[in-house]
A and B are shown apart, each in its own frame.
Chain A
């Protein structure tokens, strides 16, 4: 049945649409916009999105006021001729310092005048200092740095277009991390599916104490991820970790220390910890699917002489296809975004061998305050998440979202 939406229908939908716009669309659009700018919050030249050029008047005024202050420290060390030059530059600098404040737009003529002042003041001072090569001045190198800092008062547009995406395509670290993320996702999700299915079949049995089994099975999932990551860190510890020592004893790894200090060991460690933690969640999703299967089907199959294995492959699996697909979709997207478990367990180490895309984007955006390129990484991740979701919905589950 088709509905023709009229204006008043949209009025009823308005609250939902507004909420969607604020909480879903706005952050996504912001990420896209950031990725077109060289936006770095710890750099005063790049700390806002800017299309035109501007002048950082505060920084110019501060640096200009330092010129006279510093020249004064060396005033008595130069001759009268030098002092006259210092006086002139000081006067000029003080005038500049008073003239500018705040971050403002700037005309071409103003910019030229300021640049001319900077070059003239610097060269005049250099000329005086160079006449006294043997003198140990207090402020010669400081003044050099002050003038170098003045180059930073001119703020250019930081719109870079597609530059970040070009860089992303050549970023070996991004693709290395994509590989780690994909490997982690495939391994954890497939292991969780197999183990989760087993767990779901057990939890589906009507037997004494099943409530206790279900509760116990859910415990790993109920523990906060950061806490379970710390717990596994102890278990993998090279000296006292029981799991690391066990693996070493049965010969899986050369020595217990290798568990977290080699790339293969650390990735395996992360996968085991994630499987342990998330299998109950997978089992829950599958259990829901199991419980809607009609018991009668099994009974009639049993009457026809079908064994348990045959029943599982010919009744359980086909009927559970929709719930398996939903569980896989949830878990794949979830695993692809993994951050907390690995961040706490290995921090992305050793040598970046367990770094996932989420950890990389966190490092660039939050630790390095580079929101522009960090957003480009996030958009790159977004593309892959969209591809995964499309593949699941299109090829594997055409009937997943339809009503039939």
Chain B
């Protein structure tokens, strides 16, 4: 009996010794920071993570590859965050999720960290920063800003028309006329392609067609007219960014409404060249989109997560993102960096610079997902020919009414 006890004791001691050594070994290793972000068709995201890992000894950022289906990614994130999980330390978010995540208490406010590190909110892209703000607190910093722009085949349209488009002084009716006029030239099959499927992209597009929700009936009619006049392909109602980019970079369409990433796609996989393409602002402004970075409020590595965020969103990280992936920098000083301007042609294009001046945003609401869902139903139903114009306008207005800003309880007195 004594012998068994002795053996057991020495076993326990041996195990704890090994475990102790093990713990020491692990302590010497870098702390892992899990970074949840979507797949990137450019090398930029990997490059910026590598640069962060090379820049310091303490942390090791690991990219957790999320699905490129944004709706599914949001659901996945919410399910994890709702359960109080710390599987992700740094979270990338579409601009429209930030308010919701902040309201739910899923992500941590960053103002204290920014003050301690002399980071000013005015150093960053303003549109993205206001999207990352909730209740007067900054919850997220810009990963990359985005905006809707018009891609034009400048080898097809005339010089005067190009100048008109680049200035932004035109209407949706002009786009319709030009699309019908030039459709078929230079082996194109479609006039104008944009996003009309029932999903978040439709809200972005309708925001642009409806003059930032000021002219709902006009916006609905403008989109319907494009379909009826044959300016848009017949199956435009299933078009997302993917179909749009595919059509334009294959040289199948004269005009396309898309995000800046399509510029890079033309170079890397296009059957047309960047020389054939110009970028113009949309007639009533382009929707602000893009992605933000925030810290999981339940992360056990708050300091490491903050270090990673400030690196990626700061001058070094944003320069890498812009030069490796052609992303629009979210850190203002990088916009003036000569190397960046040289490598990113977009930043010296007059039409693109004009587009940067006229951006419009989507409605802000705590229940944004519900508001967006109703907007999609109303607009898509009308475009598919299932509802009348007045009913669709009423449905859009009803959905927008739910996005009213918060009022003080005692302010009506």
Contact = CB atoms under 8 A, between A and B. Distances in A.
B381 A368 contact: no
Interface in A118-156: 119, 141-149, 151-152
B377 A352 contact: yes
Interface string B122-137: 0000000000011111
A93 to B, nearest CB: 13
Contact of B409 (A144, A149, A151, A352): A151
A144 B133 CA distance: 13
B89 interface: no
A261 B238 contact: yes
Contact of B104 (A47, A149, A238): A47
B136 A350 contact: no
B369 A148 contact: no
Interface string A47-70: 100000000001100110010011
A149 B135 contact: yes
Contacts of A42: 78, 82, 100-101, 103-104, 106, 366
Contacts of B100: 42
B235 A239 contact: yes
Q: Looking at A119, A144, A350, A364, which has the most chain B CB atoms within 10 Å of its CB?
A: A350
Contacts of B105: 44, 58-59
A351 B383 contact: yes
Contact of B235 (A63, A147, A257, A364): A257
B384 A353 contact: yes
A350 B198 contact: yes
A104 interface: no
A302 interface: no
Nearest to A265: B384
Interface in B223-263: 233-235, 237-238
Contacts of A149: 134-137
A171 to B, nearest CB: 12
B238 A260 contact: yes
Contacts of A255: 234
B293 interface: no
Given A351-B377, A351-B380, A44 B103 contact: yes
Contacts of A351: 198, 377, 380-384, 386-387
Contacts of A370: 367, 370
B112 interface: yes
B223 to A, nearest CB: 13
Nearest to B373: A363
A367 interface: yes
Contact of B369 (A70, A147, A263, A368): A368
A152 B104 CA distance: 11
A349 B198 contact: yes
Nearest to B99: A42
A66 B111 CA distance: 9
B386 A257 contact: no
A353 B381 contact: yes
Q: Looking at A62, A70, A143, which has the most chain B CB atoms within 10 Å of its CB?
A: A62
B234 A238 contact: yes
Nearest to B199: A347
Nearest to A41: B82
A366 interface: yes
Contact of B234 (A257, A349, A369): A257
Contact of B381 (A141, A257, A352, A363): A352
B111 A69 contact: yes
Nearest to A44: B105
Interface string A27-56: 000000000000011111001000000000
A262 interface: yes
B373 A367 contact: yes
B385 interface: yes
B42 to A, nearest CB: 27
A353 B137 contact: no
A261 B384 contact: yes
Contacts of B382: 351
B57 interface: no
A145 B386 contact: no
A66 B384 contact: no
Interface in B340-388: 366-367, 369-370, 373, 377, 380-387
B338 interface: no
A192 to B, nearest CB: 27
27 contacts: A40-B367, A41-B78, A44-B103, A44-B104, A62-B137, A141-B136, A145-B133, A146-B135, A146-B137, A148-B407, A238-B238, A257-B235, A260-B235, A261-B234, A261-B238, A349-B198, A350-B198, A350-B384, A351-B381, A351-B383, A364-B370, A366-B79, A367-B75, A369-B78, A369-B369, A370-B367, A370-B370
Nearest first, the 6 A-B pairs at minimum CB distance are: A351-B381, A145-B136, A149-B135, A257-B235, A238-B235, A142-B136
Given A142-B137, A239-B235, A258-B234, 17 more contacts: A42-B103, A43-B104, A43-B366, A44-B105, A66-B137, A145-B133, A145-B134, A149-B136, A149-B137, A238-B235, A263-B386, A348-B198, A350-B386, A351-B383, A351-B384, A368-B373, A369-B369
